Structure 1
């Protein structure tokens, strides 16, 4: 079942790149990130509310909270730099191979047509 979730995560990560690249055009990366964050916040808390998990808030331990806050900081910094890259450069939208690694075996093979001489072969793990 985890492969199903990982594959969908990778597909949505790729869609995120494409949509964000178009969405950041003409506005600042920080504003784009802020808008995206509000949308994610509404979706995440909507899921918690509709699934009845609000009563679990009291079960969050100090360790849970520390690591979730640290994870949130890392995520925020990642988004800041990601949107700055989208805003200021020609960032390819297909750079999510790392997201697929748990699900797929990625193997290089010699390909004269590729700019680097190598192309990636992707097979289900």
Structure 2
């Protein structure tokens, strides 16, 4: 692995996959919005413990207004995404919902191109297009 981020990205993918499986099992007989709330509360406790254990706590009042604004926007987007994801999992197959959810990879590339000035190579665009094609294959009814 020549890129240190790759290790963390692979772990993210593994845990995202487990998230779908555990959530699909856990939301049986529970309202998906309520299940999302429970999940979020647990995440707050886990992250608080992690930050405390690793000594990474810092004063949030020292953050800039721009940082607060974009972290808040990210939090809203995350919350809305989770609500939609859990609702989709409750009514659909995890093996179909999770890959379609990963269409976010395509959207991240497009948004990063448009708003952050990132310029993926032709090979990277090909990979992104293949992901998009895979989502279409899953989404189109036969």
TM-score range normalised by the length of the shorter chain: 0.7 to 0.9
**Take 1:53 and 1:39, find their aligned partners in 2: how far apart are those partners?**
19
4+ runs deviating over 3 angstroms = 96-102, 104-108
Give the structure 2 partner of residue 71 of structure 1: 74
Q: Which has the higher strand share?
A: 1
What runs of 5+ residues in structure 2 fail to find an aligned partner? 110-123, 131-136, 138-142
- Which one has more relative contact order, counting CA pairs under 8 Å at least 6 apart? 1
Give the structure 2 partner of residue 111 of structure 1: none
TM-score by length of 2: 0.64
Q: Which has the higher helix share?
A: 2
What runs of 5+ residues in structure 1 fail to find an aligned partner? 109-115, 117-125
1:51 to 51, 54, 58: 54
Aligned residues: 108
TM-score by length of 1: 0.72
RMSD across aligned C-alpha pairs, in angstroms? Answer: 2.6
